[in-house]
Amino acid sequence: MQFREDETSRIIEMAWEDRTPFEAIYTLFGLDEQEVIKLMRKSLKPRSFKNWRARVSARKTKHLHMRSKDVVRGYCKTQYKHR
């Protein structure tokens, strides 16, 4: 699947966010977890990709079925600061 540059950037941003599950990326862009991994491998520098994989592998919030039922939002309320 081919994405515009701004779409690819948004997918990468969502993949880095701790509270954005892979299911949200699938809903918006049609990419499952394995396809996101491929896109990240292609788009990031090798060390950045390795850091991202280590980070994602340790996050229960990246998978809805592993996520606590208490988490009802996709981002931390302090993540986006009002200016």
DSSP, res 73:
S
pLDDT, tens digit (0-9, with 9 covering 90-100), for 2-16: 899 999 999 999 999
pLDDT in 10s for each residue of the chain, 83 residues: 789 999 999 999 999 988 888 999 999 999 999 999 999 999 999 999 999 999 888 777 676 666 556 655 555 555 555 54
Nearest to 22 by CA among 38, 12, 33, 11: 33
- Cα separation, 40 vs 35, whole angstroms: 9
Indicate whether 61 belongs to any domain.
yes
Taking the CB of residue 62, how many other CB atoms lie within 10 A of it? 23
* Domain containing residue 54: 5-66
Indicate whether 16 belongs to any domain.
yes
Q: What total of structural domains would you count in the chain?
A: 1
